[in-house]
Structure 1
Amino acid sequence: MSEIDVNDVAIFVRVIELSGFANVARERRVPTSTVSRAVSRLEQALGVRLVQRTTRNMMPTEEGRMFYEDVAPALTVVRNAARGLEGAGRSPRGRLRLSAPHDVGTTFLPPLVVEFAQRFPLVNVEVHLSSRMVNLVEEGFDLAVRAGPFSETSLVSRRVGDIEWDLYGSASYVEQNGTPRTLEDLDHHTCVLFRPRGGETEWRLHSRDGKEPETRKVRGRIGGDDFEFVRAAILAGGGIGLLPRITASGDVAAGKLVRVLPQYEVHSGVLHIVYPSARQVPAKVALFSDFVIDIFARLDLGDGIPDGHVNHHAPQAELLEGE
């Protein structure tokens, strides 16, 4: 019998527990072929077939079932010992790879990531900005910030909060052109538009007093299909435009942007933190998720990025220290 790789044994045990190669691949964030090769190596080392593979499912052989029953309890002891070390005070560590859209990644996330890195000095945070919805498992990401409806069954989703949009103008623009008091006043102002058609678009604005939403056609000579461009154009004095509250809050706090027509807002979906489904969630992933949700809750109160302490109580998910 050849030397046995303990890592291959651990993978085999999870294949039996999760009833398939693909489920383990999602949990470990590796290709399915990697899991299959690990089981094949173990079979070669033992000199017996452990699983019967078909195009639709996988079943353990009699030898595989007996081997699983012998080794699974020992692996459980090892896992419990690892969790005990973490509970004794080990800090989260390793690389944390995060994907986020450009507008959130250049405004809301930077101060948050800096504070998180200061609180957890053994974690290296790498942020990848893209408008593309990346495949977390295949591309090696630990988690992602995503806006809009969530439907992927292979991922765990944690609700961060509602995305609200408000109307803003730069401090210089408002000083030179005045502040609109009613929706009709927008006819006399230059607007910066997102994805305009023929120099105009429609804003569906909800009133804070509970009245029916109002749809207003607005015009402008400046428009773009990227929210970062729209934000930059508004900051440069190009006119009044709609921006997500979470991306504008820092500029408002710095006095660069002024919120106008505060009695109106636009509702636009929900912000989520998502990560691959796993039985044990790495501590760095769970803590970062809690961190984002806690800060967003206080940001929604209009306080901007807070300097106070974030609640670091252990999340509901079971934690496992990971690299």
Structure 2
Amino acid sequence: MNLNDLSLFIRVVETGSFTAAADSLNVQKSTISRRIAQLEDTLGIRLIQRTTRKLKLTPEGEELFNRAQPLVDDLEAVQDDISASKTELRGRLRLTMPTEIGVFMMNEVITSFMQTYPKLEVDVELSTRTVDLIEEGVDLALRLGPLPNSSLIARHIAGLHRGLFATPEYLEQHGMPKTPDDLAHHQCISLLKPFDHLRFTNWNDNEPVTMGGRLRTNSMSFVREMILQGMGIGRLPEVFCGELVKTGRIVRVLDEFTLDPLEINALYASRRNLNPRVRAFLDHMSERLRDHPWVQNRLVHLDG
């Protein structure tokens, strides 16, 4: 039995289609179809029932997948570890992260990472959508805010300083709020599907605070632009607003009240041991962000 063919079979089952498997591995769909057919010929059994709409495993195919998947995962992990110990890292690392984090924070991290490992290729998708790491063949995702329960491994990366901001013109017209409760009577620019509720660590026992307003968006960059347009008060990480505060275009609001940090977490598939490329990126990111002025809490290196 050809182990490469077996690995392709497992990938097809994991992604649910020949097309998705081909895209995740950057190979032709016809190549995967041919290799799976060769595997079936070698074993003398049908593994996958092909229809025009979906794939269905035969009983023999399901048994092979259940028994072979953990073995192939272990072999791939061993191969990665041995390769990393003998040569410098190479291959492709696939990342996904929110647009603003990529543009404002991870740009320098990724630049220095690629300079450190010149034989590595890096794919970065900047998006607000929730990517299925296994189905889409992504190695690691950076996500903001509280995480839903899942089978993925989550590792805390950092917490970002956050604040409330508005233009001097808006505050001159509407007044400066004195306490967090005053925000209910202001035009506040909120996020659709917010990462978390608006809370202050030193107000009302950290209970959620109501924000007034008519404008919501899924983009922190758009929140910043609407603040600049005088549309109201917005909550953002300091990274997006530091220079604007220095130049006086916007000012901090309720600065004596401390907002909870915005959590950044790294996620990767729990079914695999951490491969050297992902480990190297996590360690590099930890080192580069350790003393970053926008990071609220210190990062830790990976153990083991």
- Taking a change above 3 Å as real, the CA distance of residues 281 and 193 of structure 1, as seen in their structure-2 partners, is same
- Taking a change above 3 Å as real, the CA distance of residues 278 and 38 of structure 1, as seen in their structure-2 partners, is farther
The 5 A counterparts of 1:28-177 are 30=21, 41-45=38-42, 48=44, 53-54=58-59, 57-58=62-63, 83-88=81-86, 90-147=87-144, 148-153=146-151, 155-162=152-159, 165-169=162-166
Native 8 Å contact 2:158 2:265 kept in 1: yes
Question: Paired residue for 2:217, among 225, 234, 245?
Answer: 225
Shift, 1:262, TM fit: 2.8
- The code of the aligned residue for 2:59 comes to T
- The code of the aligned residue for 1:193 comes to I
- Taking a change above 3 Å as real, the CA distance of residues 248 and 115 of structure 1, as seen in their structure-2 partners, is farther
Native 8 Å contact 1:192 1:234 kept in 2: no
CA distance in 1, matches of 2:155, 2:134: 17
The structure where strand makes up a greater share of residues is 1
CA distance in 2, matches of 1:112, 1:158: 17
Residue 288 of structure 2 is aligned to residue 290 of structure 1: no
CA distance in 2, matches of 1:128, 1:115: 18
Equivalent residue for 1:319?
Answer: none
The 5 A counterparts of 1:202-241 are 204-208=198-202, 211-213=204-206, 219=212, 223-226=215-218, 227-235=220-228, 238-241=231-234
- The code of the aligned residue for 1:224 comes to R
Shift, 1:204, TM fit: 4.1
- Taking a change above 3 Å as real, the CA distance of residues 218 and 49 of structure 1, as seen in their structure-2 partners, is closer
Render the CA deviation track for 1:248-277: whole Å, top value 9, x for unaligned: 567668887654323324447743211223
- The code of the aligned residue for 1:87 comes to S
CA distance in 1, matches of 2:230, 2:211: 17
Shift, 1:104, TM fit: 2.6
- Taking a change above 3 Å as real, the CA distance of residues 121 and 248 of structure 1, as seen in their structure-2 partners, is farther
Moved more, 175-184 or 276-285: 175-184
Native 8 Å contact 1:252 1:258 kept in 2: yes
Which of the two has higher C-alpha Rg? 1
- Taking a change above 3 Å as real, the CA distance of residues 191 and 109 of structure 1, as seen in their structure-2 partners, is farther
Render the CA deviation track for 1:257-300: whole Å, top value 9, x for unaligned: 6543233244477432112234343322222233344555544x
**Count of residue pairs the alignment pairs up:** 274
The 5 A counterparts of 1:164-313 are 165-169=162-166, 180=176, 182-183=178-179, 191-194=187-190, 204-208=198-202, 211-213=204-206, 219=212, 223-226=215-218, 227-235=220-228, 238-245=231-238, 247-248=240-241, 258-267=251-260, 270-295=263-288, 298-299=291-292, 303-304=293-294
Secondary structure of the 1:97 match is: strand
Equivalent residue for 1:200?
Answer: none
Give the TM-score normalised by structure 1.
0.60
Equivalent residue for 2:50?
Answer: none
Native 8 Å contact 1:167 1:265 kept in 2: no
Sequence identity percentage: 24
Shift, 1:58, TM fit: 0.8
Shift, 1:161, TM fit: 3.9
Shift, 1:242, TM fit: 0.9
